[in-house]
Amino acid sequence: MDSIKKILVPVDFSDNSVKIVEWALFFREKCGASLLFVFVVQSFEDYSGFFVPHMPVATFEKELLENAESKMREFLAELVPAAVPHSWKVLSGDVAEEIVDCAEAEGVDMIVMGTHGYKGLEKILFGSVAEKVVKTARCPVLTVNPYRIDGEEAA
């Protein structure tokens, strides 16, 4: 087994993501790895027929990407010490596919992600992102149930 030098961490800026970042920092310290944080803006193609934005889709997607980049900077500034080697990307498309493609393109050695993200109708429509990533990623995927951390019970 090769050593773990780069860990990809998908985030969605939720409270659950905060817990996942804590786990990623723990594993990073044990391995001496760098971290790559990724946020994926869900492609609008997946929402076709649900709504019609009041502005052109291209403009709306551009604003979402810009807002996500700003949010990523704030999110990581609060959670990741400056001394920790890390980088980040904001991508657009199918969430699971983008995570797997990014992991492959960046040559990551492991993905650390939560088992819970989407809920309700979105989960029915898009399925479990974690499940898709586990099934299709070429590198190991560590999944963390954020509802079972620190003795908490599942919601």
Instruction: Evaluate if residue 7 carries a pLDDT over 80.
Output: yes
pLDDT, tens only, 27-83: 999 999 999 999 999 876 555 555 555 556 667 778 889 999 999 999 999 999 999
Position 16 scores a pLDDT of: 87
Helix/strand/coil (H, E, C) string of 31-86? HCCEEEEEEEEECHHHHCCCCCCCCCHHHHHHHHHHHHHHHHHHHHHHHCCCCCCE
What domains lie within the chain, and their CATH numbers? 6-151 (3.40.50.620)
Question: CA–CA distance from 55 to each of 36, 50, 52, 62 (Å)?
Answer: 32, 15, 9, 11
Give the pLDDT band of residue 110 (cuts 50, 70, 90).
Answer: very high
Position 25 scores a pLDDT of: 97
Question: Exposed, middle or buried: residue 65 (CB in 10 Å: 0-12, 13-18, 19+)?
Answer: middle
Instruction: Provide, rounded to the nearest whole percent, the portion of the chain with pLDDT above 90.
Output: 61
Q: Give the range among 83-92, 94-103, 143-152 with minimum mean pLDDT.
A: 143-152
